[in-house]
Structure 1
């Protein structure tokens, strides 16, 4: 029997095994992108629920309803891709050194989003407060080491103590506070504030 030229079983097996190994390596390399890809796909399929409405103060329908709503896609990706990142949603009171102000304003917490990772911890709280909370914060917080300024009709106060950065922002009956320990994504407080006061 004459053998067909150009065919070698050993060579075919070697090429097949190398190809399988390459595919396996590509699958392993692609696995870390799976959560972000699924999140992106879900956003593309679902789309926005409603268009933001213009107004002086955000209504309940305009406010973030869950932790994911606080973050733009780029910021979400930054947080999710941090080593060992875990998001824990709750309704805990704000994490801040300004405990006296919390007691005075008695905020009604809508959500607290706490991120932990190998880089550090970030805790952000969105709450409802009295409409004069910004003025009260601007008066009370400088004595606690905060620096306060007016931004877009709101009051933003910040304090840095070593690896801890605290930001408290109040206006229009809303309170947004963030406590960042060691982990400081670029302009995190400002980017989260945009999600709250986007209207």
Structure 2
């Protein structure tokens, strides 16, 4: 076959080598993202266990998005007006002695609200977990000293030792845990749980409770 006029074989080889080098370089830069990409592709292909969810599956724009959202007015006032009360919002991991359960469930923290005052400390974490987290918590937490009970469509587990009370509640892909050390505002955990798990109540009823 006759060569087409105007083409330069040497130039074409040089261009080809440069393109190949660019492709190889891009491949090297993309290597750190390979595990995440493979994991995403596996999820899209249906590799997740039946019934399991990701954090994004559970996000709801009506859910609490900052610490103030967790508290009815009466409870908020009781907290902020306690002597030397300081609130520190963060995305720190849950404060709990149930470390093995936290590692197993891998809660994706949405907010942690840490209070310190002259009375003591309170640490509350809201996170997302797989929808089967309640069953796992019920099986694992009693061995760590927690007593678990069914609360409608979720599980609440409580452990008390001296001045420390820990509460872990899971259901519907949500995790709520509270560690209270020597500071116990009235019915703190239940009132926060009502906000997180959206329990229906008569308007103004919660605010009318004693703080």
Instruction: Give the TM-score normalised by structure 2.
Output: 0.66
State the 1:111 CA deviation. 0.2
Q: Hey, what does 1:84 align to over in structure 2?
A: 84
CA contact (8 A) 2:126 2:175 kept: yes
Within-5 A mapping of 1:86-125:
86-125=86-125
Q: Which ranges of structure 2 fall in alignment gaps of 5 or more residues? A: 1-56, 200-211
- CA RMSD in angstroms comes to 1.3
Within-5 A mapping of 1:1-199:
60-198=60-198
State the 1:58 CA deviation. 7.6
Q: Which ranges of structure 1 fall in alignment gaps of 5 or more residues? A: 1-56
Q: Distance in 1 between matches of 2:59 and 2:174?
A: 11
Describe the SS at the equivalent of 2:76: helix
Q: Distance in 2 between matches of 1:145 and 1:64?
A: 30
Q: Distance in 2 between matches of 1:67 and 1:129?
A: 19
State the 1:59 CA deviation. 5.4
State the 1:93 CA deviation. 0.3
Describe the SS at the equivalent of 1:68: helix
- Decide which structure has the larger Cα Rg and report it: 2
Q: Distance in 2 between matches of 1:145 and 1:70?
A: 27
Q: Distance in 2 between matches of 1:95 and 1:141?
A: 15
Cα shift readout 1:63-107 (whole Å, capped 9, x = no counterpart): 101000000000000000100000000000000000000000111
CA contact (8 A) 1:58 1:197 kept: no
Show structure 1 runs of 4+ deviating over 2 A: none
Instruction: Give the TM-score normalised by structure 1.
Output: 0.70
